[in-house]
Amino acid sequence: MNTDNTINLIGRIRDKANKFLLKKLQELGLKNVAPSHGDILAVLFKYEEATMTEIAELIHRDRSTVTALVNKLIVLGYISSRKDPNDNRSSIICLTEKGKELKLGFKEISEELYMIEYKGISEEEKIVFRRILQKVYNNF
């Protein structure tokens, strides 16, 4: 039996990163926003608007998960939804003014997370690390 604990370690890193993100979100006064909401907001910061299907594809989540996350952000007033005029079955999601105000804080949190993640790691090591993680991901 192989006793390699790499997958366990990756999970523990994810847990620590999520705790960091939750703490930083609370510092911004965002007690009802979870790290998983950040994925959706990041898409909208970049593209301004997107359909539910596009968001699901971009953040690698199933559509039902995205629907639940989007609905929560709508209730909180950070995003809005309207019917796609080209396809009545589809909704277009976009940021509200309240949601747009989050962009700077999210950028700062993202930069701080990146600095912590790669502290003491060279550019070459980052490239190798990402390449290996992608290979592990693709193996599944």
The strand pair at 87-95 and 49-51 is best described as antiparallel
Q: What average pLDDT score do residues 80-105 get? A: 92
Q: Is residue 1 part of a domain?
A: no
What is the C-alpha to C-alpha distance for residues 103 and 78, in angstroms, rounded to an integer? Answer: 11
Question: pLDDT tens across 15-66, in order?
Answer: 999 999 999 999 988 888 888 899 999 999 999 999 999 999 999 999 999 9
Model pTM score? 0.82
Domain that holds residue 101: 6-139
Overall domain count for the chain: 1
Q: Is 80 exceeded by the pLDDT of residue 2?
A: no
What CATH number is associated with residue 37? 1.10.10.10
Nearest by Cα to 42 from 117, 113, 90: 113
Check whether 114 has a pLDDT greater than 80: yes
Residues 103, 6: Cα–Cα separation, whole Å = 34
